[in-house]
Amino acid sequence: MDSGIKFISWNVNGLRAVCGKGFADIFVNLDADFVCLQETKLQAGQIDLEFPGYTSYWNYADKKGYSGTVTYTRLHPLSVSYGIGVDEHDHEGRVVTLEMPDYYLVNVYVPNSQDGLRRLDYRMRWEDDFRAYLCGLASRKGVVVCGDMNVAHNEIDLKNPDTNHFNAGFSDQERGKMTQLLESGFVDSWRLLNPDGVKYSWWSYRMAARERNVGWRIDYFLVSGQLRDRIAGAEIHNRIFGSDHCPVELILK
């Protein structure tokens, strides 16, 4: 039986740090066709981390120890691109796109709006430009976009919605942009399969939040409409540790 194509996305919050917490074993045990990591916090040459059978594609931020993405793949892409073609956004290592025969895989680390929403105006420009980028890809073939999208879309997606309405990741503006993206033809794969499910992918390091499961679901696999019927599974691996985020998964038929 065809088990489908398995995708993993994980914000590792520092790849060198998570390597000291069993990352290599976790990677092997997940046994995915694609592993998309965000917040690697690396520059070129700072780590040599390859896995047999995988090729890796890295996008580094200009600023040291900041942001960064990498996609590991067992399948061979037709082409690979970095960034979204907008100079304002393309210095922080936030996007790696692999073109496969029948879809694009976009690995993204969406900018955080920061305390006091001080980067919200920039985030809004990012959202519009990134949505335009994704819609452009989707006009050609299917799109899978995954990563830390730095927004809990609905109240069910975080433990304490009432006290977070004006905080980064749950502001009306950020939630509205996610609504707009979904209305542009994308599907939240985990929510599609778990309409009433409560599971989180990020927990603050403060106040024993993970032990108490005071979390947020801000890591996603979105797929464009033409791939919707191929969604065969979606999971949030909240028992995997090593970062303040946990890995999330998509399986496509």
The pLDDT tens digits for 106-143 are 999 999 999 999 999 999 999 999 999 999 999 999 99
Report, as an integer, the average pLDDT of 91-101. 98
**What's the mean per-residue pLDDT of the chain?**
97
Q: Which residue has the higher pLDDT, 3 or 130?
A: 130
Q: Which residues are catalytic?
A: 109, 148
Examine the pLDDT at 200 and tell me if it is beyond 90.
yes
- How much is the average pLDDT of 225-235? 98
Confidence of residue 3 (pLDDT cuts 50, 70, 90): confident
Whether residue 6 has pLDDT greater than 50 = yes
Q: How far is CA 112 from CA 39, 53, 82, 128, 199, in A?
A: 12, 33, 19, 15, 21
How many Cβ atoms from other residues are within 10 Å of residue 225's Cβ? 13
The whole-number pLDDT of residue 1 equals 41
Decide if pLDDT at 166 tops 60.
Answer: yes
Checking if the pLDDT of 64 tops 60, the result is yes
Q: Please state, in angstroms and rounded to a whole number, the distance separating the CA atoms of residues 145 and 219.
A: 11
What confidence score (pLDDT) does residue 120 get?
A: 98
CB 111 within 8 A of CB 126: yes
> How many residues belong to the chain?
253
